[in-house]
């Protein structure tokens, strides 16, 4: 991948109009092979200074040659001449240096203009898993100047950006890569990383913003950031990034284009700088590029103003700026440069736009369900788990981390640096330690075994402390289990399920460990499949099995019997051997020939359920017993047959062969032992049954209490209804009474008014009559 601060490959300033055609001799100096020729015949570059011997010789020849004889050849003839020169055998090629020491230069061919060609825009695909169907223009053989001076190099097609981003099957894993880069900047003063959603001013589409106040990047560091495989962090301790590929894969996984603004403080006497870089899949497709080209521009602060940092020429810098403005989500150059106002003295601002869509044309990311979260649609979203998360809040992170960035970011790091904040859409993400979700927890130290490999863990601190316990909601028998494996403080495998047991075994067991002795994969969503990882997986499975079998009865499951650790079965196998019929018989070492015959009678559990008691005794022979088959009941097994006791021939110390017969007391003793074991099993079963009965009684009492409370509430509602109904009736009566009094008062007032009018009229008549008199 070639990264230049220009759209097109860099050409020297004096080669912008012609390409030198050479025979490919590798013994010439590079500056000699890169010299070019101008079309004018008055150039000093062709003949040297005015007083050179070559110019004097040419002047003498021109006086004897016809007019126009030494004019430059037309481009067609010049190209044909150069092809003929290249076709000559090595012995016939013209000499590179003349007798006078001057260089016999070959004729130049005018090159095409280096301006960006106006290609028709290709149809943009907005679906991530189909965006790789892009074919560039027909392949053309690169010129010598493009191949670095006749040395072939690998060209990186724009389609590789998409192919490289497919390592992230899960979109939230791409967000984690960007958060890792911000967290690594804590050593440079970063105190926060902010993830937000913006609207484009060009087409009003959604964009993703990732911003931090870390140390920022210079123009050279941004060029390295845009390059593939370059990572300065791989040699730094306590940093997550190590492959130099996370930014490219994560940004291209979320959207087709990304633009980066970065400001860096001046160090070691240097001036502060700020730069802009754009990695645009849309630009590469739209201009039909065959190489990945990254436009970049830089500014350097001189006194109080920002001035451009040119690498080749001011025109190339301006061309890069115009390209960035054209393909960025900003309307103008002023709007583009305003983005630096969000950065104070230092920091980086990443804007990802042209976000991918799903097969139905909807955005792959969901920004509307929760205005303070970024969620994803599709198979990682399970509506049942979302409902369960509200019922069981202690299991919220297990149920929602696959579709919610807020939930995933809260458990992404085992420890957050003091004072560092992760802000998602304006609200802080509350860091959560999964150890706080455990009950009955314990810690186990695991040290990997040394293996003869270059990738073997080294160092005295290469160990992992495994914290294991039940989740707080395990008593509800939720199918939740797995280990959360961190690497250098970063969560690599969340809830890794190492034991896929049939039935309900293993449910509710969760664990946390930090394994720095295994290498994560490039997408940091898993580990490289190595012998060390395989051994770790086997050990974690054994730890979970042992913890479950020992403690499962504490959360409401029936107590399991660990057959591997059963001392009775181990004693049987260690003291018995199989005969030709598949039956167990005691070892000869169990028969002591010291005058007393001691045999240890242990029942044998066969695959068909038969328990076989061999001929054995611990006491002197007291008499034979009948060889009758007897039935014996054993819990959790079919009815079994106890084989009769047969005579057993043994040789004493004197060499005499004696037959030992089983006695009734031995059988009775064995029956008592079996009955005692049966009694213990029954007591354990009764204990479990009593536990279930107590639980049922508690639940029944709770149900009855709830029923009584509901009954009381219904009675209160009924009483309140009756009281309200009576109040309404009394209100109606009072209202009618008041209306009647109001009518009576109105009538009385009207009568009084009439009387007043009548009296006034009478007084007027009396006054008139008195005046008349």
Summarize pLDDT for 132-186 with one digit per residue, the tens: 555 555 444 444 444 445 466 677 777 777 676 677 778 898 899 899 989 989 9
pLDDT at 475: 87
Handedness of CA 368, 129, 523, 230 (dihedral sign): negative
Q: Which residues pair with 423 in a beta bridge?
A: 194, 428
SS (H, E, C) 623-664: CCCCCCCEEECCCCCCCEEECCCCCEEEECCCCCEEEECCCH
**What is the DSSP code (8-state) at residue 157?**
-
CA–CA separation, 109 and 17 (whole Å): 9
CB 34 within 8 A of CB 103: no
> Tokens 């979260």 correspond to what residue?
373
pLDDT at 27: 41
CA–CA separation, 286 and 136 (whole Å): 10
Pairing of strands 18-19, 365-366: unpaired
3-state secondary structure of 560: coil
CA 37 to chain centre: 55
Handedness of CA 686, 687, 690, 691 (dihedral sign): negative
Burial class (CB in 10 A: 0-12, 13-18, 19+), 230: middle
Handedness of CA 222, 227, 232, 234 (dihedral sign): positive
Long-range contacts, 607-612 (Cβ 8 Å, 24+):
609/637, 609/638, 609/639, 609/640, 610/640, 610/641, 610/643, 611/640, 611/641, 611/642, 612/583, 612/584, 612/642, 612/643
pLDDT at 621: 37
3-state secondary structure of 481: coil
Tokens for 698, please give them.
């508690």
Q: How far is CA 198 from CA 206, 367, 425, in A?
A: 6, 11, 10
CA–CA separation, 564 and 603 (whole Å): 17
CA–CA separation, 4 and 582 (whole Å): 78
Closest CA to 548 of 444, 466, 440, 695: 440
Tokens for 109, please give them.
């061919």
Q: How far apart are the first and last CA of the chain?
A: 131
- Helix crossing, 171-183 with 246-254: angle to 10°? 140
CA 725 to chain centre: 62
Closest CA to 373 of 412, 405, 395: 405
> Tokens 């057959």 correspond to what residue?
563
CB 396 within 8 A of CB 166: no
DSSP annotation string for 203-250: T--EEEEEEE-S----HHHHHHHHSSS--SGGGSTT-S--SS-HHHHH
Radius of gyration of the chain, Cα coordinates, nearest whole angstrom: 46
Task: Mark 548-582 as b/e (b = at least 16 C-beta within 10 Å).
Answer: bbebbeebebeeeeeeeeeeeeeebeebbeeeeee
> Tokens 């590079």 correspond to what residue?
30
CA–CA separation, 323 and 293 (whole Å): 11
CA–CA separation, 210 and 24 (whole Å): 49
pTM comes to: 0.56
Closest CA to 284 of 276, 295, 274, 273: 295
**What is the DSSP code (8-state) at residue 572?**
H
Segments in the chain below pLDDT 50: 1-50, 52-67, 69-70, 85, 88-122, 129, 138-148, 150, 454, 568-653, 657, 660, 662
CA–CA separation, 408 and 491 (whole Å): 10
Query: Measured at the alpha carbon of residue 524, what is the angle toward residues 520 and 530, in degrees to the nearest 5?
Result: 25
CA–CA separation, 167 and 174 (whole Å): 10
Closest CA to 512 of 547, 549, 487, 476: 487
pLDDT at 737: 93
CB 324 within 8 A of CB 7: no
Backbone φ and ψ of 335, nearest 5°: -65, -35
Element (H, E) at 713: helix 664-772
CB 347 within 8 A of CB 263: yes
Closest CA to 412 of 471, 484, 496: 484
Tokens for 167, please give them.
């390592």
């Amino acid at each position: 991948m070639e990264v230049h601060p220009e759209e097109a490959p860099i050409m020297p300033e004096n080669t912008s109009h012609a390409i030198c055609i050479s025979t490919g001799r590798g013994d010439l100096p590079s500056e000699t092979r890169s010299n070019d020729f101008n079309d004018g015949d008055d150039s000093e570059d062709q003949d040297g200074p005015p007083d050179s011997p070559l110019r004097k010789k040419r002047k003498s020849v021109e006086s004897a040659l016809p007019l126009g004889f030494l004019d430059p050849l037309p481009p067609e003839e010049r190209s044909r001449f150069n092809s003929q020169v290249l076709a000559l055998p090595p012995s016939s090629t013209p000499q590179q240096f003349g007798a006078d020491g001057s260089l016999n230069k070959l004729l130049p061919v005018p090159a095409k203009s280096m301006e960006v060609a106006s290609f028709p825009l290709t149809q943009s695909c907005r679906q991530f898993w189909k965006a790789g169907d892009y074919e560039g223009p027909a392949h053309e053989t690169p010129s010598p100047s493009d191949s670095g001076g006749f040395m072939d190099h690998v060209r990186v097609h724009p389609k590789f950006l998409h192919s490289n981003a497919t390592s992230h099957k899960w979109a939230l894993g791409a967000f984690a890569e960007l958060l890792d880069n911000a967290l690594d900047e804590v050593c440079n003063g970063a105190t926060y990383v902010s993830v937000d959603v913006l609207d484009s001013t060009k087409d009003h589409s959604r964009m993703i913003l990732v911003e931090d106040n870390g140390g920022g990047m210079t123009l050279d560091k941004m060029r390295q950031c845009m390059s593939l495989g370059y990572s300065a962090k791989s040699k730094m301790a306590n940093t997550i990034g190590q492959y130099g590929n996370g930014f490219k894969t994560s940004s291209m996984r979320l959207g087709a284009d990304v633009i980066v603004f970065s400001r860096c403080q001046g160090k070691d006497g240097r001036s502060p700088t700020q730069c802009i870089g754009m990695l645009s899949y849309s630009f590469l497709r739209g201009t039909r590029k065959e190489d990945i080209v990254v436009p970049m521009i830089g500014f350097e602060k001189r006194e109080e103003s920002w001035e451009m940092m040119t690498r080749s020429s001011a025109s190339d810098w301006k061309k890069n700026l115009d390209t960035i403005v054209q393909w960025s989500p900003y309307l103008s150059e002023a709007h583009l440069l305003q983005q630096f106002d969000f950065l104070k003295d230092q920091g980086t601002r990443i804007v990802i736009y042209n976000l991918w869509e799903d097969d139905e044309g909807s955005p792959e990311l969901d920004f509307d369900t929760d205005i303070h979260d970024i969620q994803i649609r599709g198979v990682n979203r399970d509506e049942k788990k979302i409902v369960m998360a509200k019922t069981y809040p202690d299991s919220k992170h297990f149920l929602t981390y696959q579709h919610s960035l807020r939930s995933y970011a809260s458990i992404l790091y085992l420890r957050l640096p003091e004072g560092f904040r992760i802000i998602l859409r304006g609200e802080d993400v509350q860091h959560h330690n999964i150890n706080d979700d455990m009950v009955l927890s314990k810690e186990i130290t695991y040290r990997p075994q040394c293996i003869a490999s270059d990738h073997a863990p080294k160092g005295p601190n290469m160990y992992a402390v495994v914290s294991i316990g039940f989740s707080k909601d395990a008593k509800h028998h939720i199918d939740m289990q797995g280990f959360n494996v961190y690497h250098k403080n970063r969560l690599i495998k969340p809830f890794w399920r190492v034991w896929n047991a049939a039935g309900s075994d293993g449910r509710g067991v969760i664990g946390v460990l930090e394994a720095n002795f295994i290498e994560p994969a490039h997408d940091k969503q898993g580990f490289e499949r190595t012998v060390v990882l395989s051994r770790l997986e086997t050990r974690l499975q054994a730890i979970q099995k042992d913890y479950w079998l020992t403690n499962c009865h504490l959360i409401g499951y029936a107590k399991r019997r660990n057959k591997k650790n059963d001392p009775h079965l181990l004693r049987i196998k260690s003291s018995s051997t199989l005969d030709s019929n598949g039956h167990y018989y005691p070892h000869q070492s169990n028969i002591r020939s010291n005058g007393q015959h001691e045999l240890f009678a242990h029942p044998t559990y066969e695959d068909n359920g038969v328990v076989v008691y061999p001929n054995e005794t611990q006491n002197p022979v007291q008499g034979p017993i009948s060889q009758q088959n007897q039935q014996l009941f054993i819990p959790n097994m079919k009815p079994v047959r106890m084989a009769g006791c047969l005579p057993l021939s043994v040789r004493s110390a004197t060499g005499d062969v004696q037959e030992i017969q089983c006695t009734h007391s031995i059988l009775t003793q064995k029956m008592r032992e079996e009955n005692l074991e049966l009694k213990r099993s029954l007591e354990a079963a009764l204990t479990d049954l009593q536990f279930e009965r107590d639980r049922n009684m508690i639940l029944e009492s709770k149900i009855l209490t709830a029923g009584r409370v509901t009954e009381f509430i219904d009675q209160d509602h009924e009483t309140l209804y009756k009281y309200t109904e009576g109040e309404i009736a009394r209100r109606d009566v009072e209202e009618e009474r008041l209306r009647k009094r109001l009518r009576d008062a109105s009538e009385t007032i009207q009568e009084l008014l009439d009387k007043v009018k009548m009296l006034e009229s009478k007084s007027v008549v009396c006054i008139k009559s008195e005046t008349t008199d």
